[in-house]
Structure 1
Amino acid sequence: MLKRIPTPLSDKHTVELANGKSLEASHVVKGCQLILANQTFSIDLIPIVLGSFDVVIGMDWLSQHRAEILCNEKIVRIPGFGSEPLMIRGDKRSAVENIISLLKAQKCLRKGHTAILALVTDTTEKEKKLEDFPVVRDYPEVFPEELPGLPPHRQVEFQIDLAPGAAPVARAPYRLAPSELEELSTQLQELLDKGFIRPSSSPWGAPVLFVKKKDGTFRMCIDYRELNKVTVKNRYPLPRIDDLFDQLQGSSYYSKIDLRSGYHQLRVREEDVSKTAFRTRYGHYEFLVMPFGLTNAPAVFMDLMNRVCKPYLDKFVIQRRARTTSTTYFGTPSEGTALRKILEMRLLAS
């Protein structure tokens, strides 16, 4: 095409570009070859500066060949090629939008544009396991795979105080699917083996239901709504999330110590155990450790955490704004100090 001699146009054409600029065209290159989907067409082209485009096919050529543009499929269909029309599919854009051809790059270099050569490699860091951290290896007692059994008696126990005149409430078990019944049997046995529940003859009885977790497993939940209605509310303050945001603003990386099954590390006061009773297809049971679903559980757990960590509140918050530099908030305690305190209280982390 470049070796063909342009022919002057009898009348000059004004071409308006997509950016609103107008250019004058005074010549035409006739009889050029256009190859689409291995089919050769003849086309007349008007030389004009198009930026990053090599050729823009005009409406006159598309109309001449009765082309149909399917915008939603990014396809141009040209009939007249036997039983099947010619299908020209648009290129799918890659994730990187600003890609130019080798020819375009060479043109830019000849014009004196600055070029930067970068080698991009895709590296994936091996995900670290808990035991890979030295501090975890130094305190293996704090990081067991599972809770070993019933927790010790602590300075805080979960208690259920009832409103005056409250009477025991028992509800019939909910109907469960076969897969849920199988899961119920398994989880009940695990709780019995650990000593977290025991058989009950309590006049109280809440039904059981299952909630599917993101990983596809089931979480057993006790519907304690009737018990919660007659429970005196514990007004122990919970931390304000906006205060936490104020302390941690500007930080990028965070680490934490999470208690393993934290609620199950807190005992229920003996005289209140019967109130936690729940009814199932496989029997009547009651909790010896704090279960999920009770109205005062978050407040009591917060009370325990504040008592355990009282000397260190606002002192174990270490703000690390980058991986290479760190600043501390209210002192610089070692991780070992925190873990020693957890170990002294016989709490277990994950």
Structure 2
Amino acid sequence: MARVMNFLVKRVMIDQGSGADVMYPDLYRGLGLKNEDLSKYDTPLMGFDGHLVTPEGQLSLPVSMGGKEVIVTFIVVTSFSPYTAILGRSWIHDMGAVPSTLHVKVKFRTEDRIAVIRGYQQAVKQCMVAAAYDQTKQEELTEKAPLYPYEVPWVDPEFIVHKLNVDPLCPPKKQRLRRSAKEHAKAVRQEVGKLREAGAIKEMFFPEWLANTVVVKKKSGKWRVCVDFTNLNRACPKDPFSMPKIDQLVDATCGHPRMSFLNAFKGYYQIALAAED
């Protein structure tokens, strides 16, 4: 629990992976706030379902927990959430807090003691069930309406394009054809159709490099389509200056209004290559 404007607030999620502190409609209306209280904030956020959400605005409010108070700048969104608010890395850093999802606890230092805030397992389970139900409904709607799944759609190739640094001395490699099960082939066709519609891929009739698709089942029961780039990775020179401590670098972006997705993609790509090694 937390106190926002001296009101006791439940179902507050502390998320180390969130770069923003978010307020949802239940809390926004419960505090009696109005649109006039919001300042402009036009940077979209990525929701739990992977869709972009346009915020209504932002505002700064005092948040107290365990006798320690900090000013939090909330981003107000109107999308569904089983939580009333999300306290992300900026709040965690301001509090000097150490959260533990394993123990469902948050620990931080106050002026005279070490405060320990305990979460409620039952409330956590209820929120997870509600979030899973909403995700199921969203997936049903997604099957009926086409969406753009690509992470950075509509980027002009004149501005930026991704190319692999392939060693020219390595001969091209065409993998032998692997037969796919019917359900795998259907998942591949659907994924390829989405990527072509988003402009993320294009058709090649005489490719020099050819890699098979690999279909794996996700925890949700759906299929994830991957590509076997084993041969291609071997032909790419390794980067001797790979990005270290990616988690600290991501945390360092906290408090800044924007982060370039180009930096994020570079770090992810380097980590992916290291994982192949």
Question: Which TM bucket (shorter chain)?
Answer: 0.3 to 0.5
After TM superposition, the score normalised by the length of structure 1 is 0.31
- State the TM-score, normalizing by the size of structure 2: 0.39
Larger radius of gyration: 1
